[in-house]
Amino acid sequence: MTGAVWFYLFGGIMLAAALCVVFSRQPIYSVLSLLVAMFCLAALFVMLEAYVVAALQILLYAGAVLVLFLFVIMLLNLDREALARLRPFTLRGLGTVVGVLFCVQLIPLLSRAASGRSLAGVPAPPGTVADVGRLLFTKYLLPFELTSFLILAAIIGAVTLARSKQ
């Protein structure tokens, strides 16, 4: 498959996941759909050869921020009826399709690695993690610190909301 096909595939999946975030009635489904959208965005960054940004996307947003969202949802204490309506068996079909697609994509990579050919094909871009870190802690220090204060305020707000119901 060509790069344009992958671009449209990941873009379409990301759009569908973003719509599920907005229109889902269950907050758990919204968080999981947001996770899919963030992984698709990271895949688009990889296609643009922005590997550091893709890794930051997965580590910071898909990892830390979504864990924070899940903690807020757990602190708000959803009622048992809402949790009982979650249907994990509906996700089994989607998981099977994703697993099959992963295996189909893995077979050419394994055959290429077994034959001794290079997996990358193109040299790495000139940007390094050290350059991103230097920019993050010099030019973009204020937005970085403001983001940490925003996350701290969200945690304090979630704890306050959870304790006010008791």
| CATH at 54 | 1.20.120.1200
Strand (E) or helix (H) holding 30: helix 27-47
User: Does residue 110 register a pLDDT over 80?
Assistant: no
Percent of the chain at pLDDT > 90 equals 0
User: What pLDDT is recorded for position 119?
Assistant: 47
Residue 115: give the domain boundaries: 3-164
Q: How many domains are contained in the chain?
A: 1
**List of residues 6+ apart from 17 with CB closer than 8 A:** 33, 34, 36, 37, 40
Band (100; pLDDT cuts 50, 70, 90): confident
User: Does residue 124 register a pLDDT over 50?
Assistant: no
d(CA 105, CA 5): 14
Highest mean pLDDT among 2-6, 37-41, 97-101, 128-132: 37-41
User: What pLDDT is recorded for position 122?
Assistant: 45
Average the pLDDT over each of 35-44, 101-110, 125-134 and give the range with the smallest value.
Answer: 125-134
pTM over 0.85: no
More confident residue, 113 or 153: 153
Amino acid at 108: P
DSSP secondary structure code for residue 61 in this structure: I
Highest mean pLDDT among 7-11, 19-23, 118-122, 144-148: 19-23
Average the pLDDT over each of 78-82, 95-99, 123-127, 140-144 and give the range with the smallest value.
Answer: 123-127
Report which of 117, 116, 31, 121 is spatially closest to residue 69, judged by C-alpha positions.
31
